[in-house]
Chains A and B, each alone.
Chain A
Amino acid sequence: MRDKPRFLNPAILARIGNLEFIAKLVVEGFISGLHKSPYHGFSVEFSQYRQYMPGDDTKHIDWKAYARTDRYYIKQFEEETNLNCYLLLDTSRSMMYPLPEENASETGPRSNNTIEKITKLQYSSFLIASLAYFMARQRDAVGFAYFNNTLHEYLPARSSPTHLHTILLKLETLETAKRTRMGTPLHQIAERLTKRGLVIFISDLYDENRDELIAGLEHLRYHGHEVIVFHVLAQEELNFDYKRPIRFIDSETDEEISTTPEAIQASYLQHFNEFRETYGVALRQADIDYNLIDTAMPIDFALSSYLAKRQGFL
Chain B
Amino acid sequence: MPFFLTPLFAIAGIIGASIPVVIHLLNRERAQRLIFSTLRFIQMSHQTNVQRHHLKRMLLLLLRILILTLLGLAFARPFFAAAPDNVQQNGAKRNVLMILDTSYSMQYQQNFPTAKKEALKILANLDDTDAVGLILTSNKPSVVAPLGSELSHIRAALNTAVVTNETTDYLEALQTADEILEPVLIGQKSIYLIADMQRSGWNNFIETDKLSPDVDITFINVRAERTRNVAITGISVPPIILNEQKATQLVARIYNFGDEPVENMPVHLIIDGQVMSTTKLDIESNDINDAIFKIDSLFSSGNEATHTGWVEIPDDALTIDNQHYFMLKSLTSIKVLCVNGDYRTPVHQNETFFLKMAIEAGSEAVPIDLTETRTVPDAETLARYDVLILANVAEFTANDANVLKEYVSTGGGLMVAVGDKVQGDSYQGELSALMPCTFVQPFGDAFAREEFWLIATVNYEHPIFAPFKEPNHGDFGKARVYQYLEAVPVGNDTSIIATYDDGNPALFEKTYGTGRVLCFTSTLDREWTDLPIRAVYLPFLHESIKYLALKRDRRPFDYHVGDSIELRGFEDLDTQKLAIFNPDNEEMRLNLITEDNQGAPVVTYQNTGMPGIYSVHAPGAPPRYFVVNLDTVESNLAAREIEELKSMLMGNNDANATRATTLPAEELVSKYHGDVEKNQGVWVYLLLAVCALAVIEMFFANRI
Contact surface of A with B, Cβ cutoff 8 Å:
94-99, 101, 104, 120, 204, 206, 234, 237, 242, 244-253, 255, 257-260, 262-264, 267-268, 271-272, 275
> Which 7 residue pairs across A and B have the least CB separation, nearest first?
A267-B45, A263-B53, A97-B37, A264-B45, A104-B35, A94-B37, A247-B31
Residue B29 interfacial (CB < 8 Å)? yes
Q: How many residues of B contact A (CB 8 A)?
A: 22
Q: How many A-B residue pairs have CB under 8 A?
A: 91
A244 touching B29 in the complex, CB below 8 Å, given contacts A101-B34, A259-B50, A271-B45: yes
Per the bound structure, the CA–CA distance linking A253 and B37 in Å amounts to 10
The one of A245, A246, A257 that contacts B43, using a Cβ cutoff of 8 Å: A257
B45 touches A249 (CB 8 A): no
A247 touches B46 (CB 8 A): no
B51: nearest chain-A partner, CB-CB = A263
Per the bound structure, the CA–CA distance linking A264 and B47 in Å amounts to 9
Per the bound structure, the CA–CA distance linking A51 and B98 in Å amounts to 124
- Interface CB pairs A-B, < 8 A, 19: A94-B38, A97-B37, A101-B32, A206-B37, A206-B40, A234-B37, A244-B29, A244-B31, A245-B32, A248-B39, A251-B36, A251-B37, A264-B42, A264-B46, A267-B44, A267-B49, A268-B41, A271-B40, A271-B41
A105: nearest chain-B partner, CB-CB = B35
Per the bound structure, the CA–CA distance linking A55 and B29 in Å amounts to 57
A101 touches B35 (CB 8 A): yes
Contact surface of B with A, Cβ cutoff 8 Å:
29, 31-46, 49-50, 52-54
A104 touches B41 (CB 8 A): no
Which chain B residues lie closer than 8 Å to A96 at the CB level?
Answer: 35
Q: Tell me the smallest distance from the CB of A314 to a CB of chain B, in Å.
A: 36
Per the bound structure, the CA–CA distance linking A255 and B38 in Å amounts to 9
B29 touches A275 (CB 8 A): no
Per the bound structure, the CA–CA distance linking A98 and B33 in Å amounts to 12
Per the bound structure, the CA–CA distance linking A244 and B36 in Å amounts to 15
Which chain A residues lie closer than 8 Å to B32 at the CB level?
Answer: 101, 244-247
Which of B37, B39, B41 is most buried by chain A, counting CB atoms within 10 A of its CB? B37
Q: Tell me the smallest distance from the CB of A47 to a CB of chain B, in Å.
A: 47
Other CB < 8 Å A-B pairs besides A101-B33, A260-B50, A267-B44, 10 of them? Answer: A94-B38, A97-B37, A206-B37, A248-B36, A250-B35, A250-B38, A250-B39, A251-B35, A258-B31, A268-B41
Per the bound structure, the CA–CA distance linking A236 and B38 in Å amounts to 12
Q: Tell me the smallest distance from the CB of A138 to a CB of chain B, in Å.
A: 33
Which chain B residues lie closer than 8 Å to A234 at the CB level?
Answer: 37
B42 touches A247 (CB 8 A): no
Per the bound structure, the CA–CA distance linking A47 and B46 in Å amounts to 64
Which chain A residues lie closer than 8 Å to B46 at the CB level?
Answer: 257, 259, 264
The one of B29, B39, B50 that contacts A253, using a Cβ cutoff of 8 Å: B39
Which chain B residues lie closer than 8 Å to A120 at the CB level?
Answer: 37
A263 touches B50 (CB 8 A): yes
B39: nearest chain-A partner, CB-CB = A250
Q: Tell me the smallest distance from the CB of B317 to a CB of chain A, in Å.
A: 80
Which chain B residues lie closer than 8 Å to A259 at the CB level?
Answer: 42, 46, 50
Per the bound structure, the CA–CA distance linking A234 and B34 in Å amounts to 14
B33 touches A268 (CB 8 A): no
Which chain A residues lie closer than 8 Å to B54 at the CB level?
Answer: 260
A120: nearest chain-B partner, CB-CB = B37
Which chain A residues lie closer than 8 Å to B34 at the CB level?
Answer: 101, 242, 246-249
A99 touches B29 (CB 8 A): no
Per the bound structure, the CA–CA distance linking A260 and B49 in Å amounts to 9
Per the bound structure, the CA–CA distance linking A224 and B40 in Å amounts to 34
Q: Tell me the smallest distance from the CB of B111 to a CB of chain A, in Å.
A: 73
Per the bound structure, the CA–CA distance linking A11 and B40 in Å amounts to 27
A257 touching B42 in the complex, CB below 8 Å, given contacts A247-B33, A263-B50, A264-B49: yes
B38 touches A252 (CB 8 A): yes
B34: nearest chain-A partner, CB-CB = A246
B35 touches A99 (CB 8 A): yes
Which of B32, B38, B46, B52 is most buried by chain A, counting CB atoms within 10 A of its CB? B38
Which of B31, B33, B35, B42 is most buried by chain A, counting CB atoms within 10 A of its CB? B35
Per the bound structure, the CA–CA distance linking A111 and B29 in Å amounts to 26
Q: Tell me the smallest distance from the CB of B54 to a CB of chain A, in Å.
A: 8
Which chain B residues lie closer than 8 Å to A255 at the CB level?
Answer: 39
